[in-house]
Structure formats: C-alpha cells, structure tokens
Amino acid sequence: MIQKEIRQHPSGPGYHVVDKEQENRISVVGLGWLGLPLAKRLADEGYSVTGTKRNVGHESSIACGQVKVVKLDLKGGYSLHPVESSLFSADTLILTLPGSRVAEKALRTFSDIRYLVDQAREAGSRHIIFTSSTSVYGDATGILTESSPVSAGTAGGAVMAETERWLLMQKDICIDIIRLAGLTGPGRHPARSLSGRKNLGQGEHSVNLVHQDDVITAICLLIHSRGPGRLYNLCSPHHPSRREFYTRVCGLNDLPVPEFTAHLEREEGKIIDGSLICRKLGLKYSYLSLYDMPV
C-alpha cells in the first residue's frame, strides 16, 4: 500500500496529500553534460530517478546506470512522441535544458519549459528546479547579486530572463532557479577554447566560473531543503582577470597562451556573487581557487 500524509504546501498556504512513493521520485530533463552526472548522484543517494534523452538506445541506457531513461523530443512547446507518465509523476522535476544566444532557439526552449511545467503540475509534481544562466545580467558591471537588475545583453539572455519571470509567477508549485556562471568540469574548460587565440578583448574583466561538482551539490541541497521558490547565483568566489587567468592556466598546462589586446583605459566587467546560497543552504564551493580546477 502506498503511504500518504497531509502536509502544508511549500509554495504557500493550504494543504495537500503527499504520496510517499512519489516523494522519492525525481526526473531530470536532459541527460547531458550536467544532467547525467546529476541523475547518477541522485540515484546513488537512493532516489528513483528518471531522465530524458532525444534518442534512447541500448548503449545510452547502459551508460546511465540506475537512471531510467525515457525518450523526450520537444519542439516548441509540445512533444513529438508520447511521453512516459513516470517523467511527470515525480515529486521534483529538474530542467537542465541548454540556453541559446539565438532568439528563435531560445523562444522554442521557453515554450518547451512551459509545456514541461504544465505537464508536471497536472501530474502532481510539487517542485521544479531550473538551471538558468548569469547571462540574464547582460552587460551590467560591478558586483552582481540576486537582487541586481536583470539587463540581458543578447536576445537569448532576454528570453532567459523572461523564462525566469514566468517561472517565478507560478504560485501553485515550488520553483527554484539557479543562475549558473561559466561552466567547467570534466572535458570542459574555457582555457582550451581560448588557447592560442589572438587579439582577445576584455582582458581585465573578471572571470566567473563554477564547477560541475558545485552545481550538482547545489541542486541536491535544494532538493533536501524544500522551501518557497528561491533564486541563487552559482559562481566560484575567486575572480582573477581574464588576462591573468588564461595566460597562467595555459602556461601551466603546456597549451598555447592566448593573446589579449592592450587596454588603454580601465575596463570594468562584472563579478558574480555566489555567496547567498552558502549562507542560506550551507554550500561550500569545491574550488576556492580557479587555478585548482582541472583543465
């Protein structure tokens, strides 16, 4: 027999029936570079995890281990194939859909997110976690916190900001949003893409990066500490200049050093402050120095 209990709703006044079996189920939309290791971590913690891929085959199922893999192919707000009910009947739905600088692609993703949230709400999900981006701050300068104005500098960033606003307006389901700085981790380090390039600008701007491990830990903390909708920046507390950081990292790893243009006047960039989640949820960043991150 499935155990149930009555509990106050986390997103506001009122009570609802909690299905204890559902409470242990988590779905991750997008088993990619971030979603797959996240899903595996949650499965290791004892959750029943379902994840999505556009194409599901024997090899992909083996690679996902304990994670149940279901097909999900979205196109502008609807699914091209029937979706297994287990995806939306989870207690927590985690959306790791990648953003885009291109407005048209970003708008399609926004439509897909609205579809996913509506389906999850109908199925009784109580918690949505959305991985947003610090691109919503656009060309803003100085130290930026969660209360800083949003001023997206690209069409994609503007759509991401609108996606956030729509999510935060959903009052009958708990929505958590984490704004990710530049991502780094296994097989992904910006020094490799900038190595050897010439005439790079913004050499004195600060570097804002966050490691995959810290993103996964932050999402786990949001699941463990359910509360009203929350918004957090995720970014390492170390912010060397781009010139200093990429020159040193490439040199230490025998990569061609990038060349930055000379700066004739003081450049002012942005520093993403990711400390609020540390104070509120106890997150401890794995790498207090960006130089310690593997390349």
Domain residue limits, the chain? 18-292
Helix (H, G, I), strand (E, B), or coil: what is residue 189? Answer: coil
Average model confidence (pLDDT) across the chain: 88
What share of the chain has pLDDT > 90, as a percent? Answer: 70
Contact 131, 181 (CB under 8 A): no
Residue 203 neighbours by CB distance under 10 Å: 20
> Hey, what amino acid is at 230?
R
SS3 169: coil
What does the pLDDT read at residue 7? 44
CATH fold group of domain 18-292? Rossmann fold (3.40.50)
Res 63: pLDDT: 67
Distance CA 43, CA 62 (A): 14
Residue 17: pLDDT over 80? no
Four-residue CA torsion sign, 213, 65, 127, 188: positive
What is the rounded radius of gyration, in angstroms, for the C-alpha atoms of the chain? 20
Rounded to two decimals, what is the model's pTM?
A: 0.90
* Torsion region of 90: left, alpha or beta (phi above 0 gives left; psi -120 to 50 gives alpha): beta
